[in-house]
Amino acid sequence: LEACGLDGPKLQIFAEGPDWYHPGRSGTIRLGPKVILASFGEFHPMTLEALDVTGPLCGFEVFLDAIPEPRQKATRTKPVLALSPLQAVRRDYAFVVDKGQEAAAIIRAASGADKKLISNVSVFDIFEGASLGEGKKSVAIEVTLQPSGKTLTDEEIDAISARIVENVGKSAGGVLRG
């Protein structure tokens, strides 16, 4: 998908699949909320019975016609790798959210806090336990800030951190775990 110019933020994973997959054990990969690029999951027991197959059995389907053409022509030379001479800053955040909240929504919310400085957001831990409360889970993310013009001050980092916490709170209902 990267070869077609599709990157992580454009792709979304939904926890719903066609009827021949087991509900709760399947999903779709989409370009935005509507264009389905692929489906995957464990086959439903009724599907296995109809095919006279014993399971569990998993499968996937890629819809090649739905994948858009690459935007640029392939070249033999790689683009110049623009590396910043400045040190990247990494911060970890743990948010308490509803158990049904998808981690992708938290990643999108955190990434949107500052699109120029935030170069990467990734989940490194998901925890569920009685200490969080009924129906809650903790999703921990690592945010990488990559300055390009000048070294970030503590005040600038704190301001971006506040925007990350605010964005995740508004769009995903996350509360900073303390």
Topology (CATH) of 89-176: Alpha-Beta Plaits (3.30.70)
pLDDT (tens digit, 0 to 9) for every residue of the chain, 178 residues total? 666 666 666 778 888 888 899 988 999 988 877 889 999 999 999 999 998 998 789 999 998 888 887 666 666 777 777 777 888 999 999 999 999 998 989 999 999 999 889 999 999 999 999 899 899 999 999 999 999 888 999 999 999 999 999 999 999 999 998 7
What pLDDT is recorded for position 2?
A: 63
What pLDDT is recorded for position 107?
A: 93
What 3-state class would DSSP assign to 89? strand
What pLDDT is recorded for position 12?
A: 82
What pLDDT is recorded for position 70?
A: 67
Rounded CA-CA distance 44/28 in Å is 15
Rounded CA-CA distance 57/60 in Å is 11
Q: In the chain, where are the structural domains located?
A: 2-66, 89-176
What pTM, to 2 d.p., does this model score? 0.64
The alpha carbon dihedral of 99, 103, 108, 111 has a sign of positive
8 A C-beta contact, residue 63 and residue 36: yes
Which strands, in side-by-side order, build the sheet including 136-145?
118-127, 136-145, 89-98, 175-176
Rounded CA-CA distance 164/18 in Å is 35
